[in-house]
Chain A
Amino acid sequence: MKKCLTKFLFSALFVVVLVSTSMAQMKVTGTVMDGEYNEPLIGATVQIKGSTIGTVTDISGVYNITANTGDVLVYSYTGFDSQEMTVGTDATMNVTMSAGSTLDEIVVVGYGSQSEKEITSAVVQVGEEEFNQGVISDPAQLLQGKVAGLSIYNKGGDPNNSATIRLRGISTVGANVSPLIVVDGIIGASLDNVDPNDIETMTILKDGSAAAIYGSRGSSGVILVTTKTGKANTGLKFSYNGQVSTSQAVNTVSILDGPSFVAAGGTDLGGNTDWIDEVTQTGFRMTHGLSASGGIDNTTFRVSANLRETNGILKNSGFDQFNTRMNVSTRLLNDKLKIDFNTSYTNRNQQLGFNEALRYAVLYNPSAPIFGADSPFEFNEEQFGGYFETLGLFDSFNPSSIVNQNRRDGVRREFNYGATATYSFLDNLSATFRLSQQNIDRSTETYYPTTSAFRGNATSPTRKGLAEFYEFNSTFNLYEGYMTYLTSVGNTDLTFTGGYSYQEDSFTDRFFSIGDFPSNTVDFSTVIEASQDLNNAGFIAANSNASPDNKIIAFFGRANATIDNAIFINASVRREGSSKLGKENQWGIFPAFGVGVDLNKYLNVSSLDLFKFRAGYGVTGALPERSGLSQETRTITNDPLTGAVGTRLAQAANPDLKWEQKQELNFGLEVATGRLSATADFYIRNISDFILERDVDPAIFGGNRRFENSGELSTNGLELAINYDVVKNAKITWNSGLVFSTYKTTLDSFAINRSARGNLGAPGQNGTNVILVQQGEEIGQIYGPVFDGVADDGSPIFQDVNGDGDLVTGQDKILEDNVDFAVLGNGTPDFELGWTNRVSIGDWSINAFFRGAFGHSLVNTFRAFYEPRVSTQSSYNYVTTENAVDGLTTARFSSLYVEKADFVKLDNLTISRRFAVNSKSISSVQLSLILENPLVFTGYSGTDPEPALIDDGSAANGEFTDLNDVLAPGVDRRNSYFNSRSISLGVNVNF
């Protein structure tokens, strides 16, 4: 790699040297004014048409630019109609601009930017004013419900968990299921290193033709994040914003209290404890953001620092985060060279806590005492740190002990920096080089003291206590260079872009655990030499991984044509190679084509401000998450007697592994008339050769699982966005926006025909796969027997669905043909809605945002396990919902536990007031009151009706799970974080 980087830098230099001669030109100067208020426009763009050369106006609206006679200068400013003027002999060119009828914003797209009307694909830009409000620490949540087709769910809202992001549903089954994040041009950046306060706009490239220029990384869509920058010639500006918020658990699982549990036949342990209350707390969040920005001469900059503190609703969970970001942009060599430099650093100290406590709070015997001293039997409370434990029962741990005795702390540090240099060595030819690097370090330290029954092994007579350590480091490097050439032929403007991209990423991780600590007097995770495991072979667990240098190399080219300023054509091609694929299959070619027509230019319907049609087609490739899948790997086996070492096959090689391909065809229509604007998109997407670990014949391959190109998926979808100014006058404005999206994903072909997923797990429901993935069917089908009443012995009666008189209802037979099963629901929504209302009355503004998803179902696992009154299970609490069936004493999965989870939430209600301040130093103050999740309308009886798009799997009795199954949506697991409701108060001050 080093060699390639050297060449890269050399060629960058070479290009600069090559063009250091410049033509004789004249200097043009002038002032740009706002026609309505007769004030100078600060920061207006002045650009030579057909070139990349441009400048911006200063604080007095004045610009200076070097141009040739005959050049056309284009003046533009957000919200104003652009103007063009030809350079003649006069060196002074003053311009007056007027506010535009329609906004024609500049939208950042791959390797360049375009004006909104030139775009031929489904692209949505969301600005700061449209973001969700509140103390939001995950940038993805700013967009929740705002973009048609973009699903963002963080079930329960665990502060230490990032949201699941899906653009247009499932786009691949292997990897890259989340959209590619591009922060200020840095591709593949981490969203975790961007503080929401620093974001100016987010642009979502939805379809294949838009994303294709990014290649494989864009196969699940692209989210472009543009952070705030300083404005030229504006002097120095400071701004502060701060928010505080408190939150409360809502919609917890409905269970019995001590006396009713005992009355229902539960084991009486003499007390009455509200375990949910014991493990939850009032959440608290606080954020402070400070930024300074400005522009002096040819340099603009912005620096910011953001501090966040979060305490979750689960006791002893939360984080403190510090983030800084700096963006500097400067123009050199007569504005020919533009250099952008940006860097950011995030340090997050996490108290990860134990979500398991929420689950045990639901199922733990409510008549059990918190402390051993209150035990109805003789109980050695010292052994358990004073806490009571129901010894002798599987999967049962005192929730209060879990949250109070153990700790799990994490640190996450992310540092990235990037530099972009653009040199315009001809009027119409520029070259851009970009280098960026991103480093992520994470570590987790967990300590279970000798008195913790939960993983601390307090029941063991000797080997008590456990300390676990995990460290992860990853590095990501990106080098890119591209050239842009502009030209005009007749009434056609052409832009050509061509370039090279080199990406390399790798990680290492290490895990280490050790236990058997001598006492509970200190936290032995910092004194691990005291571990008695050191004296016993086999107890210390250690594991490490290192990825190879995963490389993606690409050559790309794109041509944009604008004909008659009304017909827009984009075409691109990318040849891309990846080290993750089989040696002979590493390279793929991915083309894209798009066309857009401003129909109104020809139709001339006076009532229409905009009537544009566009169509795009693009192919992108997708890669598996893991590396090394094309090669054979082996594991060590030991001979315990002699200490000799051998190896056995771990993974059979698959040299035929090739690119997973996604073809997407998108049609869009954009209409604007008066107060109404609307966009509709329809798309058809086919994914072929998707990469999935599948069953193979072990008699041939030695192992029974291998990653292969395994089948085809297709998705059809429709998206609508409507915006309407209900009221718009000088005093009051009310803007209402609705987004709607629907899609359906079908498994067209599948190498193994069908597979069963979503195992409910222990206790007693292993072998209980509830999701069927089958060729020719929709993804996300919940499949099982149909409940039809209770038999005398308390067991469920199931329907003879196929009517053959033979009842086959064992969930383990899900893959067989003669079962009496039915499709009980689907884990993905039929459609999703977001409804934004922004009202402003003078200095007051109100923002009410509703969000809903419809048609999806969830398997309510809390009910499936704990709702039947199982007589031999009288030590777990019973879940009681209105769906409970009297007399049912056997826990068996069926339609009884599959619930429709349609919902509408008033997601966010913000009331704010702006105060004009007559002060030299303070220019404005704004106060906001924000309610998050104040109202939920749903028939779902579980904690949160939001779809479960990824299945995390089941973990019982203190086990861990690392499942991440995108093919098994719809299982609401018992580990889910509880939903919360919060109230925030925010202040925003500009100096």
Chain B
Amino acid sequence: MNKLSKLLIASLVVFSTQSCTDLEENLVGDITEDISVEGIALPGSGGEATPLTAAYAELRNAGSANHGSYYSNQEITSDEMCIAAKGGDWFDGGILIELHQHTYSPTHAFLNNAWNGAYGAINTVNELLAGGTLDDASIAQARVLRAYFYFRLMDDFGRIKIPTTPGADVPQSTRAEAFDFIESEILDALGVTEITPGMDLAESVLGRGTDAYQINTFGALGIIAKLYLNAEVYIGEAHYAEAAAAASYIIDNGPYTLCGDGCTVSNLGKRTGVASDPDQLEGYAAVFAPNNDGNPEHIFTVNYDEAGGGGMNFSQMNLHYASQFTWNLDAQPWNGYATLEEFYNSYADADARKAANFIVGDQLDFGGNTVLDFASDDENIVLSYTPGINELQPNSQREAGARAGKYSFQQFGRPDMNNDWVILRLGDIILMRGEAMARMSGDWNAALPDVNTIRARANVPDLASIDAEGFLAERGREMFQEAARRRDLIRFGAYGGTWWEKPASDDFRTIFPIPFDQIQASAAGDNPLTQNPGY
């Protein structure tokens, strides 16, 4: 037994040592915290370090221009676009019909996606701010960018959580508290305490850089102008004077011009076999073209890119499968989104925006031959988009509905498009100023000069007078496909109204429900989320 004890002791000593009990996990296949807590920030090809790369990239991640998240929620709840169920295709459990008919409920996946997308973006900004490596100008930009994401959340969901450091568990705010936070963050970054016509922003740390991919003084003003224009909806308090002052400041002091006659880019969607395709896109159409970067109208845009900055998928979302041959697309489209007939018909034929915004009629391929749909559900196998849609469900014709083509497609395009997505542009700011002035004065004709500026660019005659309804319609024609329509309808009290295949809806629907998954998930923490009224 003596031998045995010696043996056991010897073995125990050997195996209890550190190297035989070491359970360190070294993640060689991942980028971990150890490499960089606040994220790697490497200089680009120009040698310039761009610490906010990850922050601005979040604009692409957060569903700005793809299917199933923020963009979809803004567009197909409005009267400008829908996704009809095409037989077995595009029913998807009814979620698309629900958005159209305003019967969405807390379990709606797209609402949850939008929520997650925004908070993912906010986390990245919070990490960068917490990292302590940013200079004052970058901090100001980061805070305005974060305020913009909170603006989206507040606009959609009303009562949200507002963490400003990574990992913070904070209580759910009221919509008014969220409004105040967004307002104060942007004012802080601008270096003022209020927006007034006579404010001095010359020394704002945000500066006046001309790169529309970054937020400058005018970008921050544009975002706060949107906040103030909708303040009556958000907090029941009018802030039109501030909205007008912010918009005017941009128009008067900014380097931006409306892209009109002579403002052109080459037409990357031109088909060699179709003589009527122009060589150049001019004016309104140029603002949204695949090569729209650096357009003089852009104030703040998202840099989408087919190779390094994916996330804009309009060609896939909007076009019929066979339209692949019109643009020589790299992948087969999905045939989802279409325009409501009434909305399409609200444009005058001469309106430059009608041609720019919509794709209708018989489709021709690259060589000028008609595109065929071998699985056509009518007698004619030529692919022809009709403005009218036979029914919302269950059997919408597969080629029914004018297709949104404002963010136009380029030949040989990839599923990820190159067009920059516009968050703020001068045309929008001009209409915002007009509307704010009208609402301040109580006279919609006060908006006429600004409205007619916009109409002139679209080659449609000036209006002699205008009312609220007319303004909303004009703003709709201008802002189509820019994720603005839901907010505009709410501000004009029209969101609960009726349109094609959409019955009247209750007022509480102007705020989306807090997603079910979020209520479940937050229940584990100290600050559970509670549901919005009505749901």
A contacts, CB < 8 Å to B: 1, 3-4, 7-8, 10-11, 14-15, 18-19, 267, 269, 365, 377, 390-394, 396, 425-426, 429, 431, 457, 459-463, 481, 483, 485, 498, 500, 502, 508, 536-539, 544-551, 553, 555, 577-580, 586, 627-628, 630-650, 653, 694-704, 751-754, 756, 762-769, 793-795, 810-816, 865-866, 868, 870-876, 889-893, 957
The distance in angstroms between the C-alpha atoms of A795 and B116, with both chains bound, is 35
**What CA separation (Å) do A15 and B14 show in the bound complex?**
12
With contacts A553-B20, A640-B307, A644-B44 taken as known, whether A697 is within 8 angstroms of B120 at the C-beta atoms is: no
Which B residues are in CB contact (< 8 Å) with A695? 517-518, 520-521
Cβ of A3: which chain B residues have Cβ within 8 Å of it? 19
Q: Within the assembled complex, what's the spacing in Å between the Cα atoms of A323 and B23?
A: 35
Interface residues, chain B, with chain A CB atoms under 8 Å away: 3-4, 6-8, 10-11, 14-15, 17, 19-33, 35-36, 39-46, 48-58, 61, 85-95, 98, 105-109, 115-116, 119-120, 122-124, 126-127, 160-161, 163, 166-170, 213, 303-309, 320-322, 324-325, 328-332, 334-335, 366, 371-377, 381, 383, 394-398, 412, 414, 416, 516-518, 520-525, 529
A704 touches B521 (CB 8 A): yes
Q: Which chain B positions have C-beta within 8 A of A545?
A: 29
B523 cross-chain contacts in A, Cβ below 8 A: 752-753
Q: Which 3 A-B pairs have the closest CB atoms?
A: A538-B307, A646-B54, A642-B44
* CB–CB A644/B308 < 8 A: no
A and B contact pairs by CB, cutoff 8 A, 10 listed:
A7-B20, A483-B11, A628-B27, A631-B27, A637-B53, A648-B123, A695-B517, A695-B521, A816-B516, A890-B394
Instruction: Tell whether A768 pairs with B93 under 8 Å between CB atoms, given A641-B213, A700-B167.
Output: yes
Contact status B308-A698, CB under 8 Å: no
- A765 x B92 contact (CB < 8 A): yes
Considering the complex, give the chain A residue whose CB is closest to the CB of B106: A816
Closest chain A residue, CB of each to CB of B109: A767
CB distance from B177 to the nearest CB of A (A): 14
Chain A residues with Cβ below 8 Å from B43 are 644
Instruction: Decide if B89 touches A390 in the complex (CB within 8 Å).
Output: no
Say whether B53 contacts A645, CB under 8 Å.
Answer: yes
| Cβ-defined contact, B23 with A644, below 8 A | no
Q: Which residues of B contact A763 (CB under 8 A)?
A: 88-90
Q: How distant is the Cα of A500 from the Cα of B376 in the complex, in angstroms? A: 69
Nearest B-chain residue to A461, judged by Cβ:
B328
A632 pairs with B375, CB closer than 8 A: no
Q: Which of A392, A426, A498, A632 has the largest count of B CB atoms less than 10 A from its CB?
A: A392
Decide: A703 and B123 in contact? CB cutoff 8 A: yes
Partner of B105, one of A431, A813, A872: A813
**Residues of A contacting B27 with CB < 8 Å?**
548, 627-628, 631, 633
Contact in complex: A548, B85 (CB < 8 Å): no
Quick one: closest B residue to A509, CB to CB? B29
A457: B residues at CB distance < 8 A = 330-331
A498 to B89, CA, bound (A): 63
Residue of A nearest to B324 (CB): A459
Asked whether, in the complex, the Cβ of A957 is within 8 Å of the Cβ of B86, the reply is no
A640 pairs with B524, CB closer than 8 A? no
List chain A residues, Cβ under 8 A from B308: 537-538, 638-640, 643
Closest chain-A Cβ to B509's Cβ sits at a distance in Å of 16
Contact A267 B375 (CB under 8 A): yes
Task: Tell me whether A872 and B86 are in contact (CB under 8 A).
Answer: yes
C-alpha spacing A891/B93, complex, angstroms: 10
With both beta carbons as reference points, the residue of chain B lying nearest to A694 in the complex is identified as B521
Report the separation of the CA atoms of residues A973 and B167 in the bound assembly, to the nearest whole angstrom. 40
Distance, CA A4 to CA B23, complexed state (A)? 12
Q: How far is the CA of A810 from the CA of B92 in the complex (A)?
A: 9
Residues of A within 8 A of B15 (CB): 7, 11, 500, 555
Instruction: Kindly list chain A residues whose C-beta atoms are within 8 Å of the C-beta of B394.
Output: 793-795, 870, 889-890
Task: Pick the residue among B20, B31, B93 that contacts A4 (CB under 8 A).
Answer: B20
Partner of A891, one of B87, B309, B328, B330: B87
Chain A nearest CB, measured from B409 CB (Å): 14
User: Assuming A767-B92, A811-B94, what are 8 further A-B pairs, CB within 8 angstroms?
Assistant: A392-B374, A393-B374, A429-B4, A578-B23, A648-B120, A696-B521, A795-B394, A871-B377
Contact of B307 among A508, A537, A642, A701 (CB under 8 A): A537
Q: Which of B108, B328, B374 contacts A875 (CB 8 A)?
A: B374
Q: How far is the CA of A700 from the CA of B162 in the complex (A)?
A: 10
Q: A700-B169, A816-B107 are in contact. Are A642 and B50 (CB under 8 A)?
A: yes
CA distance A648 to B120 in the complex (A): 9
CB-CB under 8 A for A648 and B334, given A461-B366, A545-B29, A767-B109: no
Shortest beta-carbon distance, A384 to chain B, in Å? 12
Docked Cα-Cα span, A580 to B89, in Å, equals 43
Q: Contact between A697 and B25 (Cβ–Cβ < 8 Å)?
A: no
Contact A426 B377 (CB under 8 A): no
CB pair B163–A699 under 8 Å, yes or no, is: yes
A67 to B391, CA, bound (A): 94
Let me know if B32 and A631 touch, CB within 8 A: yes
CA A643 to CA B523, docked complex, whole Å: 41
Contact A392/B20 with A537-B308, A875-B375 known, Cβ cut-off 8 Å: no
Q: Nearest-CB distance from B230 to chain A (Å)? A: 23
Are A648's CB and B397's CB within 8 A? no
Query: Across the interface, which residues of B come within 8 angstroms of A633, CB to CB?
Result: 27, 30-32
A773 smallest CB distance to B (angstroms): 12
Q: Is the CB of B374 within 8 A of A889?
A: no
Indicate if the CB atoms of A577 and B31 lie closer than 8 Å. no
Q: Looking at A636, A639, A697, which has the most chain B CB atoms within 10 Å of its CB?
A: A697
Q: Which residues of B are found within 8 Å of A811, using beta-carbon distances?
A: 93-94
Q: Which residues of B contact A647 (CB under 8 A)?
A: 31, 36, 39-40, 54
Q: Is the CB of B31 within 8 A of A636?
A: yes
Q: Which residues of A lie under 8 Å from residue B332 when comparing CB positions?
A: 394, 459, 957
**A11, A14, A426, A698: residue with the most chain B Cβ atoms closer than 10 Å:** A698
Complex Cα–Cα for A938 and B186 (A): 68
Least Cβ distance of B174 to chain A in Å?
15
Cα distance, A814 to B320, chains bound together (Å) = 31
- Most B CB within 10 A of own CB, among A696, A699, A701, A872: A699
Q: A810 near B94 (CB under 8 angstroms)?
A: yes
The answer to whether B40 and A460 have CB atoms under 8 Å apart is: no
Task: State the Cβ distance, A623 to closest chain B Cβ, in Å.
Answer: 12
